[in-house]
Amino acid sequence: MSYCIYRTKSISQTNKTEQIMAKLFLVSVLGLLIAAYGVAGNVVYDKFNILEELEDMDIAEEDTDFLESPSWTSEHGGKVLVNVDSFGAVGDGVSDDTQAFRKAWDTACSTRKSVLLVPPGRRYLVNATKFKGPCAERLIVQIDGTIVAPDEPKNWDPDLPRLWLDFSKLQGVAFRGKGVIDGSGSKWWAASCKKNKSNPCRGAPTALTIDSSSSIKVKGLTIQNSQQMNFVISKSEAVRVFGVKVTCPGDSPNTDGIHITKSTNIVLQDCKIGTGDDCISIVNGSSTIKMKRIYCGPGHGVSIGSLGEDNSVGIVTNVVLDTALLRETTNGVRIKTWQGGSGYVRGVRFENVRMEDVANPIIIDQFYCDSPTTCQNQTSAVQVSQIVYRNISGTTKSKQAIKFACSNTVPCSNLVLSNVNLEKKDGTVETYCNSAQGFGYGLVHPSADCLSSQDKGFILIDRKDNAQLTEPTGDHIIHTEL
């Protein structure tokens, strides 16, 4: 299996990338629209193709030598090895190794070109800990052993109720190895209100968090049995995740695999995820998210959202999922928003996705309600537009293989389906549309005829002389808290 990296970009470069991606999306949709409408006057527009126009959004394959075996194994490597065992860690899975890990971190973080080593063949019991930066340059965290959490919720540190291993304010740090981060989550799951309605609904720790950091690489680790979310990337930029495995039982509540929030320029590649919730979830304040060669199952699919809960603003832009296999998940590729929210989801591409016995393979749900009580009808909504589904095939458990349940007051717009083929083993399939505007191009099964053919978000004008793409006038939602 090959892995790739991205060279670090500055914030200004990242913003420029986002602008380019947005423009490419508009051009590609124009191409599909022109192709669908056929001949414009005497000019035949047959050169526009969504693949060609979106090539620059693809994930480039680059060298990953920096993620290979640490050079400190070499006599001339120039690395400083900081072994947790040297600070008193026992590694028997019973003794509390928290202080040893904290001391080792303090040393490694303050030492240039250091390698913090968690050796193989041992189990290190570590309590909730914040590992804070900034650190000296070129720090490597090499995890080859197993880090295990205490299994009793009653004994959890009350000052860190939502965190286990939290890394923050880092720049240019690489996390790698063949080790395991094990959240020992079974008792947490049993205490969840989703397992037993008589239990109180409350949060639980996230196994691994990367927070307020930039230029981070994560490769090869296994994260399993998290108390709640497995791996969270929060308020960070330029994070590259390769070959990470996430695993939890399919009935473990709220155990999202990789959760991205308020982050930009994120790459997830060659990851295998099986959980009791979303394999990947992308929420407010996130942009330029690229996912490639993703395996998902069990789980709730690959989701944008939920967004807009409690009348909040939700903004997600420029997301690509390219090449994925979803097997026996409760959803496929999903966008979910609460009624009453505001903001927008735009510039999203799902392509080259194989579904195997997936319920709701393609779904937009603007009436999402993950609540023990009934959600009230509200008129405001997160706007969903510029969504492309391309080369999506396989089998569905649901009769409604494609479902666009959009807001009556804020309809979904610019939905484009191209080369979609979904079948049900024991029956026919259909597409459901409510307030959804867009069109199908090429093979689309089940048919997308229920989509409004006149897409209000984009208007072709002056077709005889010059086809142009314009957006309707109106106030754009501006989010000032990113």
Active site residues: 277, 300
Q: Is there a contact between 330 and 275 (Cβ–Cβ < 8 Å)?
A: no
Report d(CA 364, CA 301) in Å as an integer.
13
Task: Rounding to the nearest 10 degrees, give the CA dihedral for residues 78, 84, 90, 92.
Answer: -90
Output DSSP code: residue 51.
Answer: H
Report d(CA 240, CA 234) in Å as an integer.
13
The SS3 of residue 50 is helix
Sign, CA torsion 45/48/49/50: negative
The SS3 of residue 318 is strand
Residue that is written with structure tokens 């009348």 in the block: 311
The SS3 of residue 253 is coil
Backbone φ, ψ for residue 55 (5° rounding): -60, -35
Report d(CA 195, CA 228) in Å as an integer.
13
C-beta atoms surrounding 294 within 10 Å: 23
Half-sphere exposure of 257 (CA within 13 A, CB side): 30
The SS3 of residue 146 is strand
Sign, CA torsion 150/156/161/163: negative
Report d(CA 398, CA 359) in Å as an integer.
5
Strand duo 237-242 + 214-219: pairing = parallel
Report d(CA 224, CA 283) in Å as an integer.
22
